[in-house]
Amino acid sequence: MPGKFITVLLLASAMLAHDLPKFKKARARDRLVYGAFLVPLLYLAFIFVTARSWPNLDSIFNVLRGPAQQFIHWLNPVNS
Amino acid sequence: MRKQERVSSLQMSMLFLFFMTGSSIVIVPAPLTNIAGNGAWISLLIASTMGMILLSGILYLNRRAPDLSLVEQSRSVLGNIPTLLLLIPFTCVLFWNIAGIVLEIGTFFKSTMLKETPTYAVNSMFFVTIALTALAGIEVIARMATLFFTLMFGCIVLVWVLVAGLYHPEYLLPVMPDGIRPILNAAYVVYGFPYSELVVFSIILPFVKSEDKPKLSKHMYLALIVNAITLIVSVLSSIMVLGPLSGDLKYSLYQLARLIYFQEIIERIESVIGFALIIGFYFKASILMLILIKTLKDLLGLKNERLIALPVAFICLLLSVTTYTKEAELEELVNLTWPLLNNLAYALPFLLILGGTFIRFHLKRGNKQPL
């Protein structure tokens, strides 16, 4: 966990150091989008550091597993 | 990513070839031969034909509106709300697509070269490089591609040649011991990765110089043919060397490189070959990052898309370390769900935009002006 936390902290500091001067000069819409991206970023960073199995993109992707399995079974009954 | 950025049609087709061959050359041969056995090359022919059909679609769209990306074309044909509804899933899958490639790099390093290094450390280094490459823009990437193209394809050909002494052509027979169904199954897998992904390339086709547009189709088709040939030869050489084992050993080309032994001078060169193969992953991820940033710019109406490059890369990094962290889950996703997901998120919006453009241009006779 400390390794993960330090990695996230280092990368976040580097990102903010690079982006803050540009952020100050950016249009309101660009700032809003930047801020909006920080929400999933913080959520994912929290999941990563604390190793929680909270909903993520894979939860959505896994919804398609059933239909994909059916298609594979139709295509090749032996392999499925 | 700057407005005036332009590349030649040859450079664009080289990027396309990297995009199509980059990670697939390492990943595809093993699952393909595992499912289809000796008929894996037939699966590749079927999937590349499907890829050719999709490519003709994106080139058609590009001819109709050479300066518009897929998002802008969608806005023009379908309107704002349908574009948002269609392209939000497209963008989400694009986010994971980049994460998935780096996830594969991490897994490759973990199981071959950097066994003790945590995957997140490898992925972080890759994402820093990928983000900086995407920030440098398409012109820089295209210029780099010329150099790395020689290195990567040179190493691939070198492996084919140096393992030639181990070839057993008799391993290639019988071609279809279990009939056509396993071949169709493998074609479905390889259609999902990498052929259906080529749809996203329509986002960056407007970067081609206007004087080069007439040659674009020829160069892109040629790139896809070279990609299909490269994958087919890799699959054939892995079957000829490893025989029935080729489906069970992951990263076939790397496994072939491990077997190279030439007059006690050239041996144990798999690390060098491995790093050359990694270039393909890196390039594909960088091109996808560029595509994602351009998509977000067009979709959200951003003025300075460079501002969001790092947060986007950071999100992709975090996706790569929080989703499908078990190798078996990732393998199941690639072989089972990914083709369907790609069809729904990439191919479906693209086909709707293509259909809309076709109707608007050809069927409404009075509306023949460009989009």
Q: Percent of chain B, pLDDT > 90?
A: 60
Q: How many distinct structural domains can be found in chain B?
A: 1
Q: Flag whether B285 is in a domain.
A: yes
Residue B26: give its domain's CATH number.
Answer: 1.20.1740.10
Instruction: Give the ipTM.
Output: 0.96
Higher pLDDT, B134 or B367: B134
Could you tell me which chain B residue has the CA closest to the CA of A47? B322
For chain B, the average pLDDT equals: 90
Query: Residue B84 contacts by C-beta under 8 Å, 6 or more apart in sequence?
Result: B299
Higher pLDDT, A41 or A79: A41
> Looking at CA atoms only, how far is residue A75 from chain B in angstroms?
6
pLDDT of residue B244: 83
Q: Flag whether B364 is in a domain.
A: no
Could you tell me which chain A residue has the CA closest to the CA of B180? A76
Rg of chain A's alpha carbons, rounded to an integer?
20
- A68 contacts chain B (CB < 8 A): yes
- A72 contacts chain B (CB < 8 A): yes
pLDDT per position as a tens digit, B49-72: 999 999 999 999 999 988 898 999
Nearest to A68 among B304, B319, B337 (CB): B337
pLDDT of residue B121: 92
B260: tokens are: 């190279």
Residue B262, classed as helix, strand or coil, is strand
pLDDT per position as a tens digit, B10-40: 999 999 999 999 888 888 888 899 999 899 9
Full residue range of the structural domain in which residue B118 is found: 9-356
| CA B80 to mean position of chain CA atoms | 29
Residues of A within 8 A of B128 (CB-CB) are 11, 14
Q: Which residue has the tokens 């050479």?
A: B66
Query: Residue B285 contacts by C-beta under 8 Å, 6 or more apart in sequence?
Result: B98, B101, B102, B105, B126, B130
pLDDT per position as a tens digit, B109-142: 888 778 888 889 999 999 999 999 999 999 999 9
User: From chain B, which residues contact A within 8 Å (Cβ)?
Assistant: 35, 92, 95-96, 118, 120-121, 124, 128, 178, 181-182, 184-185, 188, 296, 300-304, 306-308, 310-312, 314-315, 317-319, 321-324, 329, 332-333, 336-337, 339-341, 344
Alpha helices in B65-209 (DSSP H): 70-78, 80-112, 119-136, 138-162, 181-192
B60: tokens are: 């058609």
- A4 contacts chain B (CB < 8 A): yes
Q: Flag whether B170 is in a domain.
A: yes
Are A68 and B317 a contacting pair at CB < 8 A? Answer: no
| CA B228 to mean position of chain CA atoms | 12
Phi, psi angle pair for A54, to nearest 5°: -85, 165
Residue-by-residue DSSP string for B265-296 = TEE--HHHHHHHHHHHHHHHHHHHHHHHHHHH
- A37 contacts chain B (CB < 8 A): yes
d(CA B113, CA B320): 19
Residues of A within 8 A of B304 (CB-CB) are 22, 26-27, 30
Q: Flag whether B367 is in a domain.
A: no
Q: Flag whether B331 is in a domain.
A: yes
Q: Flag whether B130 is in a domain.
A: yes
Q: Flag whether B161 is in a domain.
A: yes
> Looking at CA atoms only, how far is residue B123 from chain A in angstroms?
11
Residue B327, classed as helix, strand or coil, is helix
Please name the amino acid found at residue B203: I
pLDDT of residue A78: 76
Residue pairs spanning A and B at CB distance below 8 A:
120
Contact A67, B340 (CB under 8 A): yes
